[in-house]
Amino acid sequence: MSGLFITMEGLDGSGKTTQLEILKQNLEAKGFNVLLVREPGGSKISEKIRNIILDIENKEMHYMTEALLYSASRAQLVHEVIMPSLKQGKIVLCDRFVDSSLVYQGVARGLGIDIIKKINNIATEGLTPDITFFLDIEPKFALERKKQQKKLDRIESEKLDFYNMVYKGYKTILKSDGGRIIRIDANKDLEDIQNEILTNIENLFC
């Protein structure tokens, strides 16, 4: 498969969405054909699934239902959008991917990393990003930032304990990913973070 698949991970409030928007502009300025999608969502059907997952009224949702809905949304996005775009040689930027499920559902919800890996292998046919950036920010700062920004959705309304578990989850997968995930200090200036991301992407072409 040609093209390049780049994903961005981090706690809610880590600034990943802003970085991705700037990254898209920077890569396009260099002449690349870039597609930016978000998870859960990114396609018509996936966005509908997103609404069900994040609906603040769906309090009784079982954790396994949640995990399967994230992977269902992902399956549609991968097959309808990501794989065809990579085949066309595009750079696909994805705001969250399987790693989010590993840490949110696998670790923080306690379903276990292995079972979430299995479900997602089926959903994505094993599609793995070429490179992943983890924007590292302390859970208490992330939660504060998020609270200031907007009305919180069902997952974001979780408390600091949950954010701490998610953070621990990211640290766990960082140790075992074989170098695919690049940790970036998200406390730095927006511009410094972007430059670090661009340098790592340029290294992929060397």
Q: Residue 90 interacts with ligand TYD (CB under 6 A)?
A: no
* Binding footprint of ligand TYD, residue count (CB under 6 A): 14
| Long-range contacts of residues 193-198, Cβ cutoff 8 Å, at least 24 apart | 193/15, 193/19, 193/135, 194/19, 194/22, 194/23, 194/26, 197/19, 197/23, 197/133, 198/23, 198/26
Cβ contact 92:3 at 8 Å? yes
Comparing every residue's Cβ against ligand TYD, the nearest one is 104
Q: Residue 85 interacts with ligand TYD (CB under 6 A)?
A: no
Subset of residues 49 to 78 that bind ligand TYD, contact rule: CB under 6 A: 70
Cβ 168 to ligand TYD shortest distance, Å = 15
The strand ranges marked E within 111-169 are 131-136
Identified binder of ligand TYD from the candidate list 46, 76, 101, 124, rule CB under 6 A? 101
Subset of residues 119 to 178 that bind ligand TYD, contact rule: CB under 6 A: 155-156
Closer residue to ligand TYD, CB minimum distance, 5 or 104: 104
Q: What are phi and psi of 133, to 5 degrees?
A: -105, 130
Distance CA 87, CA 103 (A): 29
Cβ contact 35:93 at 8 Å? yes
Cβ 175 to ligand TYD shortest distance, Å = 20
Residues at the contact surface with ligand TYD, assessed by CB under 6 A: 12, 17, 38-40, 70, 95-96, 100-101, 104-105, 155-156
